[in-house]
Amino acid sequence: MNHSFQDTGSCGIHEDGKLYVVDSINDLNKLNLCPVGSQHPFPLDEKAPGLGTNSGNGSRSLFFVGLLIVLLVSLTLVFFVIFLIIQTANKMEDVSRRLAAEGKDIDDLKKINNMIIKRLNQLDSEQN
């Protein structure tokens, strides 16, 4: 892109007054010589205005749209995973609270069971 008009080759200097066709900015170094009697540099049936001239930009924008969709989907999945982690943590807290309460209940039941066994042993020893 930094080349001047004279950098395109010595042909440009010797062929003054001839019309060249450039298909796109990417093909700037590929200059095509137009026929001598040609009035239009682009034949009308070959290219419609606005169609196919920005194929690089179209694929680039399609790439960015696809990338944006992928990023949005991954962001949604990350938020969903964070939500599931928080819900699981809340459920685990509930379960641990219940287990702690049931553990106290079990300890109380063991104490009551030991008291009953002691009392039964005392009654059994008194009967003998």
Residue 46 burial (10 A CB sphere; 0-12, 13-18, 19+): exposed
Whether the model pTM is above 0.85? no
As beta bridge partners, residue 123 has: none
Query: Beta-carbon neighbour count of residue 21 at 10 Å?
Result: 15
The first and second tokens of residue 88, run together, are 């699981």
First to last CA, the chain: 115
Cβ–Cβ < 8 Å for 58, 65: no
The percentage of the chain sitting over the pLDDT mark of 90, rounded to a whole number, equals 38
- pLDDT digits 0-9 by tens, 109-128: 999 999 999 999 998 888 87
Query: If you write DSSP's letter for every residue of 16-54 in order, what string do you get?
Result: TT--EE---STTTTS-EEPPTT-S-SS-TTT--TTSSTT
Segment 27-64, tens digit of pLDDT:
555 555 555 555 555 554 444 444 445 556 778 899 99
